[in-house]
Amino acid sequence: MPRMNRVSRRTAGCLLAGVFLLGGHRTALAQVSRPRWRIGYLVPYSRLQLVPFRSVFEQAMRDLGYLQGKDYVVEDRLAEGRDDLLPGYANELVRLKVDLILTSSTNGAAAAQRATSSIPIVFEGVSDPVRSGFADSLAHPGHNLTGLSNLSGDLTSKRLELLQKTVPKLHRVAVLVNPNNQNSGGFVRRLPLVADQTGLSLFPVTATSSEELGPAFSLMTQQGVDAVLVMPDGYFWNLGKV
């Protein structure tokens, strides 16, 4: 997994930068073993789904000279696809007085941001940190947040272009959106522009739970769509069903 290693190294480096740049209220990281640093891990994944991410993260930290259990400990808060649990878990991490919160997904970053304005927050998997209010700009984030953006919202046209090459007679496409994702409104608002760019008819469909997926796909069938584009969302990824 060489690519995953590179990404995780960047994440680990970003985390350490967060300690230096955002968390200057404690000792230097060179003295991290006195005392241990406590990292809050706030993610939408299940324990099983977390395994590959955690193993690469721990390896990246070892490469940087920091060992779990000696230099840092991790407090896991795993929402298992339930974004509604993230705010409560974020508040728990604040009460535990963690030194830093590492989070994934836009909703995770938003929950952490609402929970604290002083504890450093490092995020990954956020599609647009500026539009989401996590950063003043990509060059100068400001606040107590920093991290990595995948800018996935801007890739919708490209995804559809690739889909057109795969399905030459593609015309009507259902776009599956989780309205509980705070970026969903922006995705839906951009669909008319994307439709003009690609020449496709785009049909938004929403689902917020596994119970709603069946009716959502039934509606797609009734509408005679040729394909489905699943918008980036931790909930959909966690289900592993779409």
Query: What is the CATH number that goes with domain 2-150?
Result: 3.40.50.2300
Please, what CATH class does the domain formed by 153-239 belong to?
A: alpha beta
Could you tell me how far CA 202 lies from the centroid of its own chain? 25
Instruction: Provide the residue ranges of all domains of the chain, joining segments of one domain with +.
Output: 2-150, 153-239
Query: For residue 126, which of 147, 101, 154 has the smallest C-alpha distance?
Result: 147
Q: What is the pLDDT of residue 190?
A: 79
pLDDT in tens, 187-221: 777 788 888 888 889 888 998 887 888 899 999 99
Owner of token pair 């599609």:
127
Instruction: Give the closest residue to 83 by CA, choosing from 229, 208, 183.
Output: 208
Pick the residue with more confidence: 86 or 19?
A: 86
Q: Do domains 2-150 and 153-239 have the same CATH topology?
A: yes
Look up the pTM and report it: 0.63
For residue range 120-131, what is the model confidence (pLDDT) as tens digits? 999 887 777 887
